[in-house]
Structure 1
């Protein structure tokens, strides 16, 4: 079916909800048709259910006008575009390549600067770099403009750098808590919230405080506080503060993880699709997260379509954590689509090419998918060969210490041993129960274990059906 006003429709579909809310607050169209176009554009952005076509009887120049109007206002608040401009100016100053127009624009920017913005640190550093450039050329009037700016905002800059330094130490503590579980960081919450909400502090520091708060609440499992934090930054974005498409997509991706934890997969999927609408260095991670949600919602066809769309990112990335994640989800997607042979061949090719990186970065993620594919095809001997070659049992024993442990690989190995006649049914049941000793499973772990048991039940119903009630309702 032919799409009316195809280019404008595609433009509409690339806009994000928070962009739409910001634009709506700036709308003042007097022309009835322009207003109708704009109102429908905003409605389509915010409508999670459907998309209404535009009226192609309206003069196309009015659609061009609305598109230009929207792009101009979005560019004006984009902190990443401002940063690119400042970095380009610094390069030109350092290489004596700055033009008269560049200088006039920059001096005008400094003259009109009133409040602390997102890229204040970079701006102040650039002004300090520019000052001697002017002095050595005896441009005293311009030198005075820069000096006045530096003096006026000296205190703000010193405060900004002090905050930046404290945030670095907070980052170290909070990430250590996540990786090593050796820190208590809740005492930082009040200070971080003060930084995040303080409009006299530059946006870069404020956004870093937001990231650390989100990290902290995730560490402590405080989902309610995390949701309140997200609602706050959502309002900031909608008001045009701390905005760029990159930061907005990062925020959407964070909401995917929150709603997934809460079991609200409909919301997680909605924010997941928003997070991959604009491509940046983190898009492959967002794609992997969304594919995980789609597979949990039994939407393997959609997952395959999404993976296909972003295959070039997968091929080009040097981030092996995400590359392995992509390959693992592709294997799982093939399994769900009933293409286990393709899943196995994909796993074998990937393992042959990246075996060192897999073992170094995400062995459990990859081998969970690979072993699952082998079990689905009843290739139990191959499971045992793979387990022996890559020491999966020893790795599983180490993994038991992690809070999110689910013994899917261990169970698959035990099943394979039984099916190959290497252990009795009594030993099988014991080996299946052993990994669960002393584990206090979360509801999410229980759900994942139930899914693993359900899959393995297809291979050995009597053992795993008996296990299901024991594991999920007695042992844990």
Structure 2
């Protein structure tokens, strides 16, 4: 029988701990039962892997009222909701179609503005358009109010714009180093920290600075410094500052990456499960990262269930990086769950459909898993044929100069040759040790290589070290 609180349970199941923390901190509920429900909602929000049922003895109407109250309270502070409204108001101002209620709301926000807001730059730009709208219509009093605001905040606006443009320039070095280790980015750390910690700077620039600081922390393995910034932001979110579900999901997703790098995998899973509660543009990216950690922990059935639930976003995404990542993790999850034939079929179909995309973007990740599937299916000749067709060994030699490179593809192809009788035991073992010695000494890469060896352990000949 369907739970009579199904809709409420479904709605609250998508809430995030920082949302309920803010609601509890600011609530003034006089009804003890409504407050008890809210506290149970908060408890369930934080228990990502278990659920405490709601009290069915409480009047169902109180649950309905609380659901509407929660939605309204969060919408009132949601910076993305406000930004969407600003964009619509801007359109209406520019087309001379702004409505009376929107004007009242906009003027009220000018009177009660507290600097800085998250989307301060957009608010300022809308008011610049509105000033023209008012002036030509001889609305002197409203024009004076808006004009005074624009003049008073002109310096802050210029500072925000300059910072925004500078962050774009900084991003080039940060991303290039993260993606290919070809640049240095540490020189930007002090500047970015200055932006992030500047409480007079608008929220958008501050959060953009934090994301780039996170990349730099990963580039230089300085995770403690990043964690200190995240803890600072955590307190701000609980107070309802710079809140939106999108921003919170991004924050949780970044914490998953951080804790994963620190080998705090249970914490990584916790934040990863929170990150996938919000469906947005980066949802598939969060799913992939969570699936990777679940697989690392041996929770392969959970990883497979998660990935299967994201099949539709994987089909519709325009981001090839995320789509190929999804496919690789899905194949790995199928392998881990003993569904080798299904994995081969899926890999075959994906390679036919997205051949050019794979070769252009994440070919090394895809073929590392796909070749494993073929070997597990004893289709060694097929693996070698694909290698010749796509010149995988040539591509791998060129790729081997990249930081963090692992010789997974040469090992898999050597294994296919050995299994087909083209290589004897001694030659294979010698080649395996040479490849193993080429793995960077960094503990992180040694651990990744050990996980890879474990995944192909059943295929390795006797005498090969499998650790």
TM-score (norm 2): 0.95
8 Å contact kept, 1:378–1:459: no
8 Å contact kept, 1:457–1:463: no
SS of 1:169's partner is helix
1:58-207 pair list within 5 angstroms: 58-207=58-207
Extract unaligned runs of 5+ from structure 2.
none
In 2: Cα distance, 1:43 partner to 1:316 partner: 34
| Residue in 2 that maps onto 1:262 | 262
In 2: Cα distance, 1:180 partner to 1:387 partner: 24
Following superposition, the deviation at residue 4 of structure 1 comes to 5.2
The CA deviation string for residues 195-221 of structure 1, in whole angstroms up to 9 with x for no partner, is 212221110111111111111111111
8 Å contact kept, 2:181–2:402: no
Farther-moved stretch of structure 1 (64-73 vs 216-225): 64-73
Farther-moved stretch of structure 1 (425-434 vs 113-122): 425-434
The CA deviation string for residues 298-337 of structure 1, in whole angstroms up to 9 with x for no partner, is 2222222112211111111121111111122221122111
Following superposition, the deviation at residue 351 of structure 1 comes to 0.6
Extract unaligned runs of 5+ from structure 1.
none
Farther-moved stretch of structure 1 (288-297 vs 134-143): 134-143
In 1: Cα distance, 2:135 partner to 2:256 partner: 52
8 Å contact kept, 1:272–1:289: yes
| Residue in 1 that maps onto 2:279 | 279
The CA deviation string for residues 363-422 of structure 1, in whole angstroms up to 9 with x for no partner, is 011111110001112221111111111111112212222222222211110111122222
User: Structure 1 segments of 4 or more deviating over 6 A?
Assistant: none
In 1: Cα distance, 2:203 partner to 2:426 partner: 62
1:35 aligns with 2:35: yes
In 2: Cα distance, 1:461 partner to 1:421 partner: 12
The CA deviation string for residues 87-114 of structure 1, in whole angstroms up to 9 with x for no partner, is 0111111122211221121122112213
| Residue in 2 that maps onto 1:304 | 304
| Residue in 2 that maps onto 1:219 | 219
Farther-moved stretch of structure 1 (380-389 vs 441-450): 441-450
The CA deviation string for residues 11-40 of structure 1, in whole angstroms up to 9 with x for no partner, is 221110111111111022222212211222
SS of 1:258's partner is helix
Farther-moved stretch of structure 1 (29-38 vs 174-183): 174-183
1:299-378 pair list within 5 angstroms: 299-378=299-378
Following superposition, the deviation at residue 118 of structure 1 comes to 0.5
Following superposition, the deviation at residue 423 of structure 1 comes to 2.3
8 Å contact kept, 1:374–1:383: yes
In 1: Cα distance, 2:403 partner to 2:363 partner: 17
8 Å contact kept, 2:406–2:439: no
The CA deviation string for residues 240-272 of structure 1, in whole angstroms up to 9 with x for no partner, is 112110111011111111122222221111111
The CA deviation string for residues 132-176 of structure 1, in whole angstroms up to 9 with x for no partner, is 122222222221121111112112112212222322222222223
Farther-moved stretch of structure 1 (345-354 vs 92-101): 92-101
TM-score (norm 1): 0.94
8 Å contact kept, 1:347–1:370: yes
Following superposition, the deviation at residue 49 of structure 1 comes to 5.4
Following superposition, the deviation at residue 424 of structure 1 comes to 2.5
In 1: Cα distance, 2:437 partner to 2:394 partner: 17
Q: Compared with structure 1, are the counterparts of its residues 185 and 405 closer, same or farther at alpha carbon in structure 2 (3 Å cutoff)?
A: closer
In 1: Cα distance, 2:39 partner to 2:178 partner: 45
Following superposition, the deviation at residue 180 of structure 1 comes to 4.5
| Residue in 2 that maps onto 1:393 | 393
1:8-23 pair list within 5 angstroms: 8-23=8-23
In 2: Cα distance, 1:25 partner to 1:8 partner: 21
